[in-house]
């Protein structure tokens, strides 16, 4: 494993979740100091301990990512402690299922508060830090469904389409400050959220695997590897891209 992030300070929102866990471990394995930001304090703390026990560097803060003041406060604290923020991975997200007439106003509102508004508030807080230090990298987790919507998920699909647009706009606005903004758009990935949905519907992994031309769904570590590449200097000219990682699967 290379050490592309030695001495770098990385923030990962939703860091204690399925893909978030893999992202945090990947950056830590490459020498980064990872700040795990998650609403689940117990899971975030356990991940930080696990990373440190295996020779990495991590800490955590449990905050509500729908709270703009909490986001600003945690960025201010991290900046004071670390003197820099080199990479931000806006990975936190949630899914409210259903077509329009089955959604509540709360489903719609919360989808945008966590999936979109949290990006806005986090980037408003970190971009001045990155401008002052001469650059940085931001990677946002969108979704294949934000590009090619799946049926029955209008709140999730629309919020993730907003993540795609936000990523492209932010990149254009701050490229001159040497702040590279990119996104990833995963297809089906084996996460606890996906497995709980399979249990709810009576489907299984083998059924999903058959729908993917590559022969299987993705693993969190594969998404984490792509995110680490986009955040690294190896992707030094990538700015404003949203990269699909789907195994060539089309949305059904």
**Contacts for 73-77: CB closer than 8 Å, 24+ residues apart:** 74/37, 75/11, 75/122, 75/125, 75/126, 75/129, 76/125
How far is it, in rounded angstroms, from Cα 48 to Cα 36?
Answer: 7
C-alpha gyration radius of the chain? 17
From the number of C-beta atoms within 10 Å of its C-beta (0-12, 13-18, 19+), residue 192 rates as exposed
Asked about 174 being catalytic, the answer comes back as no
Options 156, 174, 214, 237, the catalytic residue: 156
How far is it, in rounded angstroms, from Cα 79 to Cα 76?
Answer: 5
Evaluate whether 96 touches 156 at the Cβ level (below 8 Å).
Answer: yes
Active site residues: 156
């Amino acid at each position: 494993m290379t050490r592309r992030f030695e001495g770098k300070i990385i923030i990962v929102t939703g860091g204690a979740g399925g893909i978030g866990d893999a992202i945090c471990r990947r950056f830590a394995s490459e020498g980064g100091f990872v700040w795990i930001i998650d609403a689940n304090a117990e899971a975030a703390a356990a991940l930080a301990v696990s990373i440190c026990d295996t020779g990495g560097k991590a800490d955590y803060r449990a905050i509500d990512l729908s709270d703009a003041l909490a986001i600003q406060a945690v960025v201010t604290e991290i900046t004071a402690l670390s003197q820099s923020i080199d990479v931000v991975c806006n990975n936190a997200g949630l899914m409210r299922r259903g077509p329009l007439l089955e959604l509540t106003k709360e489903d719609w509102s919360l989808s945008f508060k966590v999936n979109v508004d949290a990006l806005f508030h986090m980037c408003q807080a970190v971009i001045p830090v990155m401008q002052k230090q001469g650059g940085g990298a931001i990677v946002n987790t969108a979704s294949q469904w934000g590009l090619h919507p799946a049926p029955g998920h209008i709140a999730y699909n629309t919020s993730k389409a907003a993540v795609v647009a936000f990523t492209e706009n932010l990149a254009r606005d701050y490229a001159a400050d040497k702040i590279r903004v990119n996104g990833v758009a995963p297809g089906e990935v084996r996460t606890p959220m996906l497995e709980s949905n399979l249990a709810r519907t009576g489907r299984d992994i083998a059924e999903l695997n058959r729908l993917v031309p590559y022969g299987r769904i993705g693993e969190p570590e594969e998404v984490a590897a792509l995110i680490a590449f986009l955040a690294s200097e190896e992707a030094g000219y990538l700015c404003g891209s949203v990269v699909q990682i789907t195994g060539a699967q089309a949305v059904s």
